[in-house]
Amino acid sequence: MQLRELEWFTTLAEAEHMTEASLRLNISQPTLSRALARLERKLGVKLFDRHRNGLRLNKYGEIFRAHALRAMNEIDRGEERIAALVDPERGSVSLGFIHSFGGWLIPDLLSRYRKRAPSTSFELRGGACETVVDDVRQGNIDIGFVAPEPAADDLDWIPLGREQLCLDVPPGHAFEGRDHVALADLAHEPMVALGAGFGLRQVTDRLCRETGFSPRVAIEVTELSTLRALVAAGMGVAVVPASRPGHSPGSPLPSIPFSDPAFRYYGAVTRRGGPSGQAARRFLRFVAKGSQHAPQAGLPSGERALGGVLAASG
């Protein structure tokens, strides 16, 4: 089956009209009709239901279109990777990251890197920590930026730094006005938290567990903006990253530092041995070398991963 046939089929599947699709493809309608007939004979099924005013993709066509699009996407990615080997600065890098990093870490890294390699393009995808890690593991993205370090033997971890955590409380809460609050003070407080698949929730649960209690999570959410809105509405308190200079947390909630050490360590995660594309390897090397926090943040496994990836990326 030729790539051209897949391209013609996907265009016809989108248009669901022979004349319109042939105009888009700049080929004659009989040529497109014969190509569709050959494809359907090869597959042994009809891919479209014929109607007076056009075509309608049937269940067999839906299945084949999904596979055709994936095949074409893989070919495109193969071409991009080959092009990146020839000129890594013109390559493409796919990044995944937890949502809160989209407000500071990712823009900062890309802004600095584009000054060095302006021809590099990026594909960005935000999600929960577990989703980002799974996307890295499955090869859907080159590099993931997450917190905390995932417990996985098949991935490499490059420590980058740590974020201070604090407590957001509703206006008028008993804790408001305090200089600090102890983690133990949260034992009987209803809390708003991200779902179990999110890194911040994992860190919150661990901190509470180490303090000797299980958090009383009253409401689970999937976005920090929703979490903060619920705290503002008096639904509970929440452990959140401390706001950074120049980055608004999204709501004017009272934020109180913890008297206990309360951090989340963050870093970059890749498949074992690092990403395969040269453009992604160059970007990862830039990220690792530019970090001012890696020595303090790294655990022994992270330090070994950092050295191995840098050596592999040349």
What secondary structure does DSSP assign to 248-276, as a single string? --SS---EEEBSS--EEEEEEEEETT--S
Q: Which of 85, 102, 134 is the last residue of a domain?
A: 85
- Residue located via tokens 């983690």: 183
- Hey, what's the torsion of the CAs at 297, 301, 303, 308, to 10 degrees? -150
Q: In the structure encoding, which two tokens stand for residue 128, read together?
A: 């929960």
What are the phi and psi torsion angles at 202 (to 5°)?
Answer: -60, -40
pLDDT at residue 299 above 60?
A: no
Residues of the chain above pLDDT 70, percent: 87
pLDDT at residue 51 above 80?
A: yes
| Gap between the Cα atoms of 244 and 249, Å rounded | 8
User: In the structure, how many helices (H) and strands (E) does the chain have?
Assistant: 11, 11
Residues 56 and 94 in one domain: no
Residues 235 and 219 in one domain: yes
| Gap between the Cα atoms of 275 and 286, Å rounded | 14
Residues 106 and 170 in one domain: yes
Residue 62's pLDDT is what?
93
Assign 248 a pLDDT band (cuts: 50, 70, 90).
low
Residue 253's pLDDT is what?
81
Q: What are the tens digits of pLDDT across the range 63-101? A: 999 999 988 888 887 777 776 666 666 788 999 999 999
Instruction: Answer with the residue of higher pLDDT: 247 or 193.
Output: 193
| CATH number (domain holding residue 76) | 1.10.10.10
Using a cut of 0.75, tell me whether the model's pTM lies above it.
no
Residue 37 vs residues 5, 44, 202: alpha-carbon distances, Å: 11, 10, 54
